[in-house]
A and B are shown apart, each in its own frame.
Chain A
Amino acid sequence: DSGVTQTPKHLITATGQRVTLRCSPRSGDLSVYWYQQSLDQGLQFLIQYYNGEERAKGNILERFSAQQFPDLHSELNLSSLELGDSALYFCASSESGTGRANYGYTFGSGTRLTVV
């Protein structure tokens, strides 16, 4: 157990629907990162939050949004889902007190999203 908790582990939904993925970082970690991993695109950085504020944005679609709550858990919302959104979605947290990446990340076990 890495200490980063992601729910649900699996999600199957239809095209056009909206889903919410949840992540609880390791105790004390202020940064949360979201990644998408698919067979054809590899590991893609989506977005980072640090202590409740958006810190960096990657290749995140406009249909996707995220937030980090006061208790530091984060949610990734995916809407108007398409078949191509099927992927593994990972959350990671960092122990860095500044939000910088020099400590590396601790990853959760991921949510496998299947859009049918």
Chain B
Amino acid sequence: AQSVTQLGSHVSVSEGALVLLRCNYSSSVPPYLFWYVQYPNQGLQLLLKYTSAATLVKGINGFEAEFKKSETSFHLTKPSAHMSDAAEYFCAVSEGSNYQLIWGAGTKLIIKP
């Protein structure tokens, strides 16, 4: 069965530091992978998605993620954190034949000044 694991319910980084949010998935076939961001009191917004084209996917707000099949990972990175990046980030997976996304539990990103 598909599943998504996000390591760390909370991640804290200093402003200007590298952001790394981890996502590992299990899937029996090549997956479709997504990262969403949720700012306080708002809905979820698509950051980026992997759909079997380039393994390095660039998204909005300077974020990118790399699909690594051998590690079954799709970690989200940003070279330099900004205060406005403080939000909750969700990783999700679909096997393409599914009618719904399978979601990780979310990681709250805290930015220290």
Kindly provide the distance from the CB of A27 to the nearest chain B CB, expressed in whole angstroms: 17
The answer for the CA separation of A33 and B98 in the assembled complex, in Å, is 13
CB–CB A90/B43 < 8 A = yes
The answer for the CA separation of A17 and B49 in the assembled complex, in Å, is 40
Binds B, one of A62-70, A71-79, A94-102: A94-102
With A33-B100, A42-B106, A48-B100 known as contacts, the answer to whether A100 contacts B94 (CB < 8 A) is yes
The answer for the CA separation of A102 and B2 in the assembled complex, in Å, is 14
The answer for the CA separation of A2 and B52 in the assembled complex, in Å, is 25
With A43-B90, A101-B101, A102-B51 known as contacts, the answer to whether A107 contacts B96 (CB < 8 A) is no
B17 interfacial contact with A, CB 8 Å? no
A108 interfacial contact with B, CB 8 Å? yes
Q: A104-B46, A105-B44 are in contact. List 17 more A-B contacts (CB 8 A).
A: A2-B43, A42-B106, A45-B103, A50-B99, A56-B99, A56-B100, A90-B43, A100-B99, A101-B94, A101-B98, A101-B99, A104-B92, A104-B94, A107-B44, A109-B42, A109-B43, A112-B41
